[in-house]
Structure 1
């Protein structure tokens, strides 16, 4: 029995800082995905919403919120939350019901309206919540631990601030023609290096913004998609081959924080296995492919340095070789393994429940040959990577 499900349609609401209710964005993305699929709303029998914890009760019951906003049609609903990996877990919920024969057409939607500045835990005292504690006890915003990762790359592999700046330069160029990107402007390396230092060694332009936005994906059984293709005369199906949502394994896993040393002589060595590696490994195993089969990747560039980590975590190159790949142009469109042809979070910013879905949207357009102005020629296999706090990870593999 095939474990594949088909991506019938994808849609997005452009990222920005619009200040509207997140539901408005989600409805736009959902309707775009349904139109792309050529599937009428009444035919959808499952709606899965990505939870957004900053947007009140409607955000906590996002599946029902979007079902109501689109017009009650009697469909089943579900809501998923996994911090920044929310979209992938929502996809996995829909995929599971389709593969179980309990659903035929599922709409997955993620949307967010974010505050200005750093994302912070919700109000209230939660002494057993490590995310809350790092803010309360250490004043440690997200860029502070992005910087720890960056410093660790410098100590272990000789990465430089100039390398990090080149990631921003590359992604800014990729995002120029992306109509859904918030930032569509070329950036020079010196502009990155001259921007304010937020958390040493990271500058303001090394770190992604917080944004409003939405993404939606229509999934269906392969059999339904084949009938749909015959009806509309469309070509090869884009399929989800794997969704990895693994948790860490101890003791050979470093879950989130890197080694807190800025002295390379104190580093005991590279950990045997990291959580982020296991995310990719599980996806490859489920899909029955290897990293060599991947043509394009969309990874979670909360900071420029983290993109380099993800390239290695997904085994797209060996440990310590991501900088070499970047410098040679191999991660640029036209190179051996283009990374973030959408422009990544560098061009979009964070809209948490939509991020992992937006990555799948981009890969779908790439595999269809519809990524105008940023197309990776001949792309047939793509992989995503995303990590939410507290042991949430995700990787999605799509293929034609």
Structure 2
């Protein structure tokens, strides 16, 4: 293991469509995290900001943007971008600075003010960017991409739209208990089935929205945490930011021109499974040690993929877990007890940080009505465009 750092503070600005600057959201989350940690802003020696590409130049230099908004006080600043994995990269940068002795106290912040509708590539024509190519050449918006995954699961494993709907029902029930969630209303499988088809077989309630929101963490060295009287803090034990391994495609997208799903042999380990494996290996744990997980449910079908990729079950067995209630609150291995993106929507640079906020509150035992009893170990997992891994293991 490379060493642990303490999570002394966690804070969020509630998700929604507020119509204000991402800087406002981020500074609110940062102040909440500082208050939670009992840390004065002047004690922070480094600020790591997760960048947003859709909020102009301040979003490209998020570390400095948030440091300025909080009041210049001499802390070093770093800004990182890794698409949906930006928050995990920011956490990893902060951890590296602490373990290298560069700073005892680091503030990590991610915030976004998302445009309405599907995310489109930012920054103009980029023919060397697979995201741009997917939109311009294939016409495959994100929901179309999610629909391909869902159809593949149906062909390979016999998953049904009713299985996918159960994921939304589960996550909405948890989100209804979370004051930071955008959507705080339970839904039924019938509600999902009655919502509009977006990318067959996925319906509107199968797919996450785009949102405004922010999340922040105060990370410190273990020595500082002890001096600060933190006692037994939540600790980050591993951060995985691995990339794919040749010859698997970066996006793990089926080759729809040549791939006959009905005749496919068992699939090689996908990139997402490599992300989780690297985190487990660094932390010295396995999936059997988990109390809970927060995974990247861009769509209901993708959540089922994550069950398999983080080792909660074998390939093709994800739907069985959700049917049995194993991944619901009160189940054997609760997943997305925050409500997930189903309840929050995407605020891209904030979401991997928000996942760690949820682990922090769960491992402290302060998550209220969505508390997982006796939670001691959790993992987060998501994936950023262009081969960015993202997984964090937190323990107490």
Normalised to the residue count of structure 2, the TM-score between the two structures is 0.97
- Structure 1 Cα separation of the partners of residues 49 and 380 of structure 2: 19
| CA–CA separation in structure 1 for the residues paired with 2:352 and 2:259 | 34
3-state SS of paired residue (1:373): helix
Alignment of 1:186-205 (within 5 A): 186-205=186-205
Structure-2 residue corresponding to 1:399:
395
Q: Deviation of residue 105 (structure 1)? A: 0.2
Q: Which runs of 4+ in 1 moved over 6 A?
A: none
Alpha carbons 2:155, 2:262 under 8 Å: kept: no
Q: Distance in 2 between matches of 1:19 and 1:383?
A: 32
Q: Deviations over 1:47-67 (max 9, x none)?
A: 000000000110000000000
Match of 2:176 in 1: 176
User: Partners in 2 of 1:98 and 1:209 — Cα distance?
Assistant: 35
Flag the 1:252–1:145 CA change in 2: closer, same or farther, 3 A: closer
How far apart are residue 152 of structure 1 and its match?
A: 0.8
Matched with 2:235 is: 239
2:241–2:389 Cα contact (<8 Å) kept? yes
Counterpart of 2:285 (choices 289, 303, 306) is 289
Structure 1 Cα separation of the partners of residues 141 and 248 of structure 2:
27
Aligned to 2:298: 302
Between 291-300 and 320-329, the greater mean CA deviation after superposition: 320-329
The question of whether the paired residues in 2 share the 8 Å contact of 1:279 and 1:394 is answered with yes
| Alignment match, 1:279 | 275
Q: How many residues align?
A: 396
Residues 223-257 of structure 1: per-residue CA shift (max 9 Å, x gap): 1111212xxxx542100010000000112566331
- Cα distance between partner residues in 1 of 2:31 and 2:344: 21
CA distance in 2, matches of 1:130, 1:324: 33
* 2:374 equivalent to 1:378: yes
Q: Secondary structure at the match of 1:360?
A: helix
Which aligned pairs between 1:25-44 and structure 2 lie closer than 5 A?
25-44=25-44
Contact 1:48–1:108, Cα closer than 8 Å, also in 2: yes
Q: 1:207 to 1:54 in 2, by over 3 A?
A: same
Residue 352 (structure 1) aligned with residue 348 (structure 2): yes
Report whether the alignment pairs 1:336 with 2:325.
no
- Which position in structure 1 is the counterpart of 2:108? 108
1:297-316 deviation per Cα after TM superposition (whole angstroms, max 9, x unaligned): 00000000000000100001
**Cα RMSD between the aligned structures?**
1.4
SS for the counterpart of 1:183 is: coil
Q: Please show how residues 152-167 of structure 1 align to structure 2 within 5 Å.
A: 152-167=152-167
| CA-CA distance at 1:373 after TM superposition | 1.1
**Cα distance in 1 between the residues matched to 2:114 and 2:89:** 20
Listed one character per residue, the Cα deviations across residues 308-356 of structure 1 (whole Å, up to 9, x for unaligned) are 0001000011111111111111001111100000000000000000000
Any idea what SS the aligned residue of 1:249 has? Answer: coil
> Equivalents in 1 of 2:31, 2:255: separation in Å?
45
Alignment partners' CA distance in 2, 1:239 and 1:372: 20
Aligned partner of 2:245 in structure 1 is 249
Distance 1:261 1:155 in 2: 15
Hey, what does 1:364 align to over in structure 2? 360
Aligned to 2:207: 207
How far, CA to CA, are the matches of 1:390 and 1:398 in structure 2?
Answer: 26
For residue 324 of structure 1, the aligned residue among 320, 334, 348 is: 320
Moved more, 316-325 or 212-221: 316-325
- 5+ long unaligned stretches in structure 1: none
1:313 aligns with 2:301: no
Superposition deviation, residue 139 in structure 1 = 1.7
Alpha-carbon separation, structure 2, partners of 1:198 and 1:140? 12
Q: Deviations over 1:97-148 (max 9, x none)?
A: 1001111000000000000000111242111111111111222110001001
Cα distance in 2 for partners of 1:46, 1:161 equals: 46
The match for 1:136 is 136
Worse-matched range after superposition: 280-289 or 122-131: 122-131
CA contact (8 A) 1:155 1:264 kept: no
- Whether the 8 Å contact between 1:156 and 1:264 is mirrored in structure 2 is no
Task: State whether residues 255 and 274 of structure 1, in contact with CA within 8 Å, keep that contact through their aligned partners in structure 2.
Answer: no
220-229 or 42-51: bigger deviation = 220-229
Distance in 1 (CA, whole Å) between partners of 2:200 and 2:369 is 34
